[in-house]
Chains A and B, each alone.
Chain A
Amino acid sequence: MTLHPMISALRRHKAGVVLIALQIALTLAIVCNAVFIIGQRIERVNRPTGLDENNLFLISQQWVGAPSGDDPASVDKLDSLQQADLAALRALPDVASVTPINSLPLLNSSWNGSVSLQPGKDLRAGNARTTFYFSDEQVLSTLGLHLVAGRAFTAADVQHQAMRDQREPSIVILTKALADKLFPKGDALGKVVYFNGDPAPTTIIGLVERMQVPAVGSWTSSFTWYATLAPTRLNANFSRYAIRAKPGRLDAAMHAVTPTLYATNRMRVLDDDSIKSFAQIRADAYRADVGMAILMGVVCLILLAVTAAGIVGLTSFWVGQRHRQIGVRRALGARKIDILHYFQIENLVIASVGAVIGLLLAIGLNLLLMHRFEMDRLPVAYVLAGIVAVLALGQGAVFVPARRASNVPPVVATRAA
């Protein structure tokens, strides 16, 4: 079959052709970028934090009438309040282990600083940014972190200090990512580093495989995996406890903590927001990402459906218009399959033109999003997959009206128009 008669036939339906091509072009541009956004968001949400997230929950609470924590006596008082809570929580039957901690990955409340190989280098000149997790000897088992080198903290390592006290810890555990950044040769264990421009050295005693920083915003992208664990209980008028429940006992443990803490000390603020499972923390942190992926997914599906429906509608109209011509062709010897192919190839030609325009639009839209919203460059694979998808969509949509056209009997040619 030659394309010439088809092209000259299309010339007589300029408006319809332009509309279908335009629709395919716009659909391709939107769907490519939307699927790319979905892929990026899903990748972000699925990165593991490094924690064993099952059976883990967090309590954030505040004491009422607690001392300021500015003098040694009141720091000791605050620490005894915290120790009492820890003892009560650790005694619960459904609880496997408990650790006091200032924040958790994905919690969006963080304590960040710098780490350097030389003493006295301040934040800007430091070798890396890092986030601090202040906790105690039960931190690895409670959070389910994997120690890959060195040793864990022992009870004897654990200090306590006021939240406002700027002393740096004497020993720390780093994430492997941070250790490798500071010591690219991989010999970080036992080496000395300096935190926040402090002249006092800190020794690295252990490395954990992976641990994410608390914040998920784009400002943390330069140090997402650079975490430092310090064996320090922080004393302030509030505290956080990460709790690992025994397997399958998460709900029971979460229900048991409120009465237990009130029995220890009634003068505290402990409300519905105070106790959160890690699943809840994760859902809150990634709400916008998951929502964006769902929104883009729904838009893509409806868009493809609308475009397919539009092709069905216009092609049906053309089939109706050319009813008699189809009869003539059939009477002159064209087979059913020839008629079917005619409409399929016609659609392929229009869709290909649309796809070429759509390719340019997709790249243009991606450039706009890159410029305005710090998006990444759209990989070519997405566009190619998108082109294949819209061509397939066109063929799928055109099939029903084309089949109807192929069923037009040759006898139509003999009837008066």
Chain B
Amino acid sequence: MFAYYFQLGLRSLRRNPALTALMVMAIGFGVAASMITYSVFRAVSGNPIPDKSAQLFTPQIDSWGPQQNVKGEPPDGLDYTDAMALMRTHEAKRQTLLYPVQMSVMPGGSSDLPIAANGYAVGSDFFPMFEVTFLYGSGWSAQDDESRGSDVVITDQLNQRLFGGADSVGRTVTLNGHDYRVVGVTSHWDPRPRFFDLFSTDGFDDASDFYMPFTRALDLQMRTGGRNSCRGKLTFTTWDGWLQSNCVWITSWVELGSAAEVARYRRFLDGYAADQQRAGRFNWAPNVRLRDVVQMLDHEHVVPPESRISLIVALAFFVICLVNTIGLLLAKFLRRAGEIGVRRALGATRREIYAQYLIEAGTVGLAGGVLGLLLTAVGVSGVGILFQPQIARLAHLDLSLIGLTMLVAIVATMIAAFYPAWRAANVQPAWQLKSN
């Protein structure tokens, strides 16, 4: 029976071409607008490291005090003094400090002009903590952190540019005039949003080129290539003066496996801040935070407001299109009251009429979905007008979005058809037969 009703539905699409076209277009536009904005929202609001996001925490310590912090929140980054103090205690199972660095690299080959290379100074734990995947080699060891070695992990992108994609482990890369030994090449590892550096980026920066040891970057006195935020009158002029200042520029991450470990680390942070207060470095009560990945993404407002507003507007638009569809379906179905009367008189039950018209609505939804899919494909390639290229690139039409588009179009149209189909099923056969 389903196949027959489906055929009837397809045939009836052709019967009132104008009315049908109106409904198909309303559903097509509505579902496309929703899907385009949803594809962006999905990309920016996703969890970049779902299996470990609840175990990775970023400690924050208020080193500015109530006079200078923003709305009572500790600064989003750490100053050098606090960062090194946290690092030295080894209180967490794994921990790393990091900050962005900008360097130049000689590409080799025929070109002798240096190119820009952006990367991060990180600890050896960075790689296992954040589940960095490797094409060749691996990260460096904790001993290399200690010995302040000139190791570097490069990304597959830089590896392609410098070595043509070959296994470059053991080869030398010259960054800012210093030689580094390649110990690993990552494979497509670039989490979006870039949860580990929300201090210097908005979460959607261009992909990194390399990761180098934090200790080595300090030895070379490399300034942060990202944000540096200070308070009050600044008096330093030298590198060491900067390190001792209240400027925050380092992000710290710790991996804590269980709730007990989290509670212990929280106590440790409070204790550390209390020690600083006793030592006279802080003139205020301990004010610390320990946020996990999801809390941090939320705290830093990683989802751009444009994404939320456009999603809300698109969904409202879709609702209006559905209201419109209800009205048009009502007109379309009741126009055939006579036909329904004949069928009912010939023995069709209300349930059968109801099923027939719901399936007919489903075919409208199907056609609207196909149109919506085409519009979504066009729209997704055009989201660059609304979002920066780094975000626009994340929105793409994949199998799940195609499935969702069709499903939403068909289900929404059938829900819209509940009332019109009910009205159709309640047509009084006697009345229709008499008046015709």
Contacts and interface: CB of A to CB of B under 8 A. Distances in A.
Contacts of B280: none
A23 B67 contact: no
B385 A320 contact: no
A128 interface: no
A123 B310 CA distance: 37
Interface string B210-249: 0000000000010000000001111111110010000000
B34 to A, nearest CB: 11
B417 to A, nearest CB: 13
Scoring B29, B102, B239, B320 by chain A CB atoms within 10 A of each residue's CB, the highest score goes to B320
B169 interface: no
Given A30-B317, A373-B305, A314 B331 contact: yes
A176 to B, nearest CB: 27
Question: What is the predominant secondary structure among interface residues of chain A facing chain B?
Answer: helix
Nearest to A324: B435
A321 B332 CA distance: 12
Nearest to A320: B335
Contacts of B331: 16, 313-314, 316-317
B310 A23 contact: no
Nearest to B238: A70
Interface string A305-319: 011011001101100
A20 B386 contact: no
A115 interface: no
B237 A165 contact: yes
Given A166-B234, A313-B22, A372 B308 contact: yes
Contacts of A284: 388
A291 B113 contact: no
A373 B308 contact: yes
B29 A302 contact: yes
Nearest to B239: A70
Interface stretch (A42-50, A80-88, A265-273, A383-391): A265-273
A164 B320 contact: no
A309 B385 contact: no
A369 B312 CA distance: 10
Interface in A12-49: 15-16, 19-20, 22-23, 26-27, 29-30, 33-34, 37
B345 interface: no
Interface string B163-176: 00000000000001
Given A26-B316, A26-B323, A70-B238, A291 B387 contact: yes
B237 A166 contact: yes
B319 interface: yes
Nearest to A71: B238
Given A65-B177, A313-B19, A313-B327, A164 B116 contact: no
B386 A292 contact: yes
A269 B118 CA distance: 12
Interface string B371-396: 00000000000000111100000000
Contacts of B68: 122-124
B233 A198 contact: yes
A271 B115 contact: yes
A239 interface: no
Contact of A291 (B33, B239, B385): B385
B22 A310 contact: yes
Given A68-B221, A70-B238, A288 B306 contact: yes
> What's the interface size class on B, roughly?
35 or more
Contacts of A37: 309
Contacts of A295: 310, 313, 385-386
Interface in A273-316: 284, 287-288, 290-292, 294-296, 299, 302-303, 306-307, 309-310, 313-314, 316
Nearest to A218: B305
B325 to A, nearest CB: 8
Contacts of A271: 115-116
A167 to B, nearest CB: 9
Contacts of B288: none
Interface string A348-380: 000000000000000001000100110000000
B374 to A, nearest CB: 15
Nearest to A120: B233
A64 B177 contact: yes
B419 interface: yes
A153 B232 CA distance: 28
Contacts of B233: 120, 122, 196-198
A294 B36 CA distance: 14
Scoring A19, A29, A124, A313 by chain B CB atoms within 10 A of each residue's CB, the highest score goes to A313
B54 interface: no
Contact of B29 (A262, A306, A417): A306
B313 to A, nearest CB: 6
Given A26-B320, A266-B113, A16 B327 contact: yes
A141 interface: no
Contacts of A291: 306, 385-387
Contacts of B327: 16, 19-20, 23, 310, 313-314
Contacts of A170: none
B379 to A, nearest CB: 10
Given A290-B385, A310-B328, A373-B305, A196 B234 contact: yes
Interface of B: 19, 22, 25-26, 29, 33, 67-68, 102, 104, 112-116, 176-177, 221, 231-239, 242, 304-306, 308-310, 313-314, 316-317, 319-321, 323-324, 326-328, 330-331, 334-335, 385-388, 419, 423, 435
3 closest A-B pairs (Cβ-Cβ)?
A291-B386, A317-B331, A197-B233
7 contacts: A23-B323, A30-B320, A296-B313, A303-B317, A317-B334, A317-B335, A320-B335
